Structure 1
C-alpha cells in the first residue's frame, strides 16, 4: 500500500527533525578547504568547505566570529565544529559552525612563502620604492586596535619624546575575520582623509602566526605599497615577521620601537646641540692657547709688543664672534620655539574636527569626493555630510543657489 502523499513542507520538516535528533550531526567536526568565503554586512560569514571530491555550505554566525583568532581566506585548510541545519523553505542543508581551528601551521607557512615570493617578483619589496621617514613630523597616524596595549604604548612614547606632535588614532580590527579588509580600508582612508599626515604607524602587539595573519594578506600588502604616506610596520615582537614588514617603508621590531623611529627625542637633540657648542668652545680655547704659545716663543723683542697687540685684537674679534654666535643661536632657538607654538595653534585651529565643532560639515559627493559648491549637485543626488560625531547620508530635494549670503534670482522669459 502506497504512502499517502505529503506536502513538500511536511517532508522538509520531517527531514529536519531527523537531522536535529541525530547526536552525531548535532556536534560534528569536519576538515576541509575554504572556498567562496563571504563576509556579510550583518557580521555573519558564509563559505564552502570542500575536499577533493565533495563540498558542503557552511554558516558562521556573528556571535561566533569574535572568537575566531585569525583571518580566514580561500584555500585555507581548517577544522570546523558545528551542527547540521536544514533550511526548510529551500530544502537545503548547511553546516552551522561554532568553532574553527587551522589544520596545521604548515599550510599557513606555505601560504606565507607563496605570497612573499609573488610580491617579491612584482617588486613590492624593492628599496627603490621605499619612502623616507620624515625626521620632524607634525602629525603621525596610528592604525591599530583602539583597545590594545600597542596604541597606549605608542602614544606614551610619542608624547614623551615630542609633545607637540599631533597623533591621529585610526582604529581597526587587527585579527579575526574581516581584519585584513579593515586594515586595508584604514590605510586608504588615512591617505584620503588626512593627506597632511607625515607618517603612518601600522601595528599591533605580539601573537601567534594565526593571530598575526591579517598582516600577511595580499590586500594589506598592496594598500601599504599604494600609500602616499610613509608606513612603519610594527607587528608583533622582534622575532615576528609579516608580509607587511617587507612592503612597508620601515620595519620596527615593536610598536614602542616604531614610535621612537617616527618621532625624534627633542631633549636628546637639545643635549646634542649643547655638547657640540661645548666642543666648539673648547676647540677655540685650545687654538687660542696654541697661538699664545707660538707668540711667546718668539724672542724678537721689537716684534713682541706688536704681536701681542695683534693677538689681543684677534682674541677680541674671536670673542665678539663667539658672543654673536651665542646671541644668534639663542635668538634662533627662541624664534623656532615661537614658530612651533604658532604652527601648533594654527594646526589645531584648522583641524577638521575643530572646524566641524563650529557647525561646519564636510560634504562628499556620490563618488566620495569633497566638494564645496552646489553646482556639483542636482536634485535627487545622494551626498554624505561628515560631522564631528557622525556621518549623515542625504538626498538633494531642492537647490537654492546663494552667493555671499544673498539669493541669486534669475528671471526667465
Structure 2
C-alpha cells in the first residue's frame, strides 16, 4: 500500500464515527500517519528552553511568531557540534517528525543543525577567529610597544564620522606637537573591508615616516562593524610594519582587528590618550629629567672638587722642585754607577785578552821557532814541508827561523833514519 493509499485508508478510518479508540490506539495511529507523511523535514526557528539531560541528550524548542515545535538532539550528534547552541539562536534543522506516545506530543528528531542568518555568520566568525589564533595572529608575544613620543600618526577612518572628530579633539587637548595623516576609507557596508585593506597596503608601499597607525570608527551594531572582522583586514593589521592601535566601536565591541592590533583602545578618545602623552605628563617628565641632570651635575662637580683638593695636597704639587731634585740625584747616582761598571768591565776585558794572548802565543808556530826550531816552506808556493820525500834535489826551499829566513837549494834527499855524511852536516 502506498503512502497516499494508506492516508486515504486512515482518513476513512477516522471518518467512521462509530469507531471508538483507546488513547493508545489513537496516539499510535496518529504516530503512523504523521511519521509516514513527514519522514524528512527541514525547519527554521529560534532556539528556546534549551536543556541537556544527564544522559547527554539535548532538548529544546523551535519557535517563531506563531508556533512552537519540541525537538531532540541525541548525545551522539550533539557531541559533534562545532558551534555553541544557545537560546535565541536562529537555526536550520533537518530531521524527522516523531510522536512520543507517553506524552502524546509530536517532536522533531534533529539529525542536522546549523545556524541560520546572522547565526551562520557568527559561526563563520568563530571559526575564522580560531584559525587565525592557531596561526598566532593574536599572540601577546608579537605585540609591539607604542613609541613614547610619536611625531607622525596615520589615521585610517571615515573623514566624516564622529570618530575622527573625537580623536583629533582629544589629540589637540593632550599634545599638539604631532602631525596627523588621515587616510579616508569606508568603515561599514559593501567595499569597506577592501578599502581598509588597501589603506594599509598603501601605507606599507610608500614611506610616510609614520610612528603609529590608528584604525578607528564609532560604535554601531555587529553588522556595522563587520568589516573589521573580515580576514583581509585582520591580516593587514597583523602584518603592518608600523605599530597599530585599533579603536573600533565602544568598550563592549570587540572585533578581530582589535585582537590583531598591537594595542586595543576602547574608543577614539581612548586611542588618542594611548598614542600621545598629555601636556602634564610631558612637563612632569621634563621636570624629572631636569632634576636628575641637576643632581648628576652636583655630584660630578663635588667629585671633581674633591679630586682636585686631593691632588693639590700631594707633595708633588706642593713642592714641585723636590721631584726634579730627587730625579737629578738619581741621575747622578746612575752616572757614577755606570762609570764604575764601565771601569770594571774594561779591567775584566783587559785581563781576559791578556790570558787569551798568552794562550795563543803558546800555541803559535812562531813561539816554537823562538826555542831554536825552524820551519821549511816550498818556494815560491809557501807550502809547509813535512817530510823529505816530498822534495827532490835542486828544489828551492825557504827556511824560516825565529828571526828572518833564507833560501837554499836541496842537494840530496834522505829518508827517515838514513845517515847523513859528516861533510854535509851544518
Query: TM-score normalized by structure 2?
Result: 0.41
> Greater CA radius of gyration, 1 or 2?
2
Question: Which has the bigger relative contact order, CA under 8 A and spacing at least 6?
Answer: 1
